[in-house]
Amino acid sequence: MLGVEPKIYTSDDHHIRHDLIDKSALHVLKGLQEAGHTAYLVGGGVRDLLMRKRPKDFDISTSAKPEEVKAIFRNCILIGRRFRLAHIRFGRHIIEVATFRAGDPSDDELIVRDNIWGSPEEDVLRRDFTINGLCYDPSDHRIIDYVGGFEDLQAHTLRSIGDPILRFKQDPVRMIRMLKFRARFGFHMQEEDLEALNNCREEILKSSPARLLEEILRMLESGAAEPFFRLMLAHGLLDLLFPKLSAYFRDSHAEEIFAMLNGVDSMNKQQGYKTLDRSILAAALLFPILDMRVQEQNPPPNMGEIMDLSHTLVHELLYEAYSHFPRRIRQDCQFILQMQYRLTPLEKQRRFRTKIVRQKGFRLPLIFLKLRALNHHALFKTYEHWKQLSKQANP
């Protein structure tokens, strides 16, 4: 596949708007090119620009080696050993710069090192899907396409670069990413890729649990969590990564969990770049299950019993999974779940314990109550009540 002449697309073909490109990224590209290096915007940022979206991240690939990048930019630090990268800091904002990588795309060994430098073409051939394999040079407005990604993007087609079985074995997280793009964009998956996913799904257990969890948390933040979890369930990946949680997605209460995820998607879309706290996202997966267990008990459980139930559930579903959630998320998730039964008690009380609005972290369970109200509109009145009390207590 190496040696293929790339297709070049000009501004007449793509109409990329430069006002959507981060000024810091343009500054880095210009600095690298003026120093005599080849440098392009790559990956998801180019894909998003072509879809008329403002990218969240602007990744740059270059012929400059990490040490050469550091020599050009004083605000640069080098990170990683297995995957050497340059991070150029502009305040809290970071532009990530990677040197073009090489390697044999026909090798089905799990990728554990990635510091073999190569050409732009070799670098593209190591990427996951054709829609993420485009390079863009803002200096002359050219799209450089070695893999047919431009046409696939126009056709809403999701296609692996190379043999999907080999690519999934090299990096099993690509299977999660394939479902991610399907959920986010509604692109069509190729039959060859679907067959490879079904044949390789158990390879996912060779991946880093932390990396897998980050992909899943990002999808919970993406505004496409509901379709993503439906796809994870349909293709058997949820069974492998979260087997106990997956069982609840297959019972009679599954649609309640999906409805909660739909609410998460609505709130994340409304908030733009400020996504819901990750503990709220975790609680959205568990609350329908906890509430089912609470409602099944007769007589209704007291708060001590509810605390025990929530602790057990968080431990079973979020800690014992292949990718277990960090301690901070688990603790905050448990607090959110328990507080729902103080904000909406099981039995009518003569008076609400209004002092709970002064508890540290009260904002999280209050936001979660709003999330519940999206599916049960009668709760909006209760949410507004607690919101007003919170404002009065914390002016």
Q: What is the DSSP string of 117-145?
A: B--HHHHHHTSSBGGG-EEEETTTTEEEE
Amino acid 221: pLDDT? 95
Task: Tell me: do 123 and 266 sit in the same domain.
Answer: no
Question: What confidence category does residue 262 fall into, taking pLDDT thresholds of 50, 70 and 90?
Answer: very high
Residue type for 256, please?
E
Question: What confidence category does residue 277 fall into, taking pLDDT thresholds of 50, 70 and 90?
Answer: very high
Name the residues annotated as catalytic. Answer: 57, 59, 128
Please report whether residue 362 resides in a domain: yes
Q: How many helices (H) and strands (E) would you count in the chain?
A: 19, 10
The structure's pTM equals 0.89
Task: Tell me: do 137 and 243 sit in the same domain.
Answer: no
Task: Tell me: do 146 and 250 sit in the same domain.
Answer: no
Average pLDDT score over residue span 215-232: 96
Question: What confidence category does residue 200 fall into, taking pLDDT thresholds of 50, 70 and 90?
Answer: very high
Task: Tell me: do 245 and 389 sit in the same domain.
Answer: yes
Whether 278 shows a pLDDT value over 70: the answer reads yes
pLDDT digits (tens, 9 = 90+) for 158-186: 999 999 999 999 999 999 999 999 999 99
Question: What confidence category does residue 253 fall into, taking pLDDT thresholds of 50, 70 and 90?
Answer: confident
Question: What confidence category does residue 392 fall into, taking pLDDT thresholds of 50, 70 and 90?
Answer: confident
Average pLDDT score over residue span 56-76: 95
pLDDT digits (tens, 9 = 90+) for 80-139: 877 889 999 999 899 999 999 986 656 655 554 556 889 999 999 999 999 999 999 999
| Burial environment of residue 224 by CB neighbours within 10 A (0 to 12, 13 to 18, 19 or more) | buried
Domain end marker among 134, 157, 180: 157
Task: Tell me: do 130 and 259 sit in the same domain.
Answer: no
Amino acid 353: pLDDT? 67
SS3 (DSSP) at 274: coil
Report the CATH number at residue 120.
3.30.460.10
Task: Tell me: do 140 and 246 sit in the same domain.
Answer: no
Sheet containing 134-137, strands listed edge to edge, beginning at the edge strand earlier in sequence: 7-9, 142-145, 134-137, 39-42, 59-62, 93-99, 85-90, 76-79
The domain in which residue 101 lies consists of 7-157
Q: What is the 3-state secondary structure (H, E, C) of the chain?
A: CCCCCCEEECHHHHCCCHHHCCHHHHHHHHHHHHCCCCEEEECHHHHHHHCCCCCCCCEEEECCCHHHHHHHCCCEEEECCCCCEEEEEECCEEEEEEECECCCCCCCCCCCCCCCECCHHHHHHCCCEHHHCEEEECCCCEEEECCCHHHHHHCCEECECCCHHHHHHHCCHHHHHHHHHHHHHCCEECHHHHHHHHHHHHHHHHCCHHHHHHHHHHHHHCCCHHHHHHHHHHCCHHHHHCHHHHHHHCCCCHHHHHHHHHHHHHHHHHHCCCCCCHHHHHHHHHHHHHHHHHHHCCCCCCHHHHHHHHHHHHHHHHHCCCCCCCHHHHHHHHHHHHHHHHHCCCCCCCCCCHHHHHCCCCHHHHHHHHHHHHHCCCHHHHHHHHHHHHHHHCC
pLDDT digits (tens, 9 = 90+) for 235-251: 999 999 999 999 999 98
Please report whether residue 67 resides in a domain: yes
Please report whether residue 233 resides in a domain: no
Task: Tell me: do 147 and 255 sit in the same domain.
Answer: no
β-partners of residue 76 are: 88
Please report whether residue 210 resides in a domain: no
Domain end marker among 157, 184, 208: 157
Rg (CA), the chain: 24
Task: Tell me: do 20 and 147 sit in the same domain.
Answer: yes
Please report whether residue 303 resides in a domain: yes
Please report whether residue 106 resides in a domain: yes
Copy the structure tokens of residue 274.
């400020």
Please report whether residue 267 resides in a domain: yes
Mean pLDDT of the chain: 92
Please report whether residue 166 resides in a domain: no
pLDDT digits (tens, 9 = 90+) for 14-39: 999 999 999 999 999 999 999 999 99
Amino acid 107: pLDDT? 60
Task: Tell me: do 274 and 376 sit in the same domain.
Answer: yes
Copy the structure tokens of residue 386.
């607690």
Amino acid 47: pLDDT? 97
Number of domains in the chain: 2
Task: Tell me: do 389 and 250 sit in the same domain.
Answer: yes
Task: Tell me: do 152 and 249 sit in the same domain.
Answer: no
Amino acid 82: pLDDT? 75
Contact in structure between 329 and 335 (CB atoms under 8 Å): no
Question: What confidence category does residue 3 fall into, taking pLDDT thresholds of 50, 70 and 90?
Answer: low
Domain end marker among 138, 157, 176: 157
pLDDT digits (tens, 9 = 90+) for 308-354: 999 999 999 999 999 889 999 999 999 999 999 999 998 776 555 67
Question: What confidence category does residue 67 fall into, taking pLDDT thresholds of 50, 70 and 90?
Answer: very high
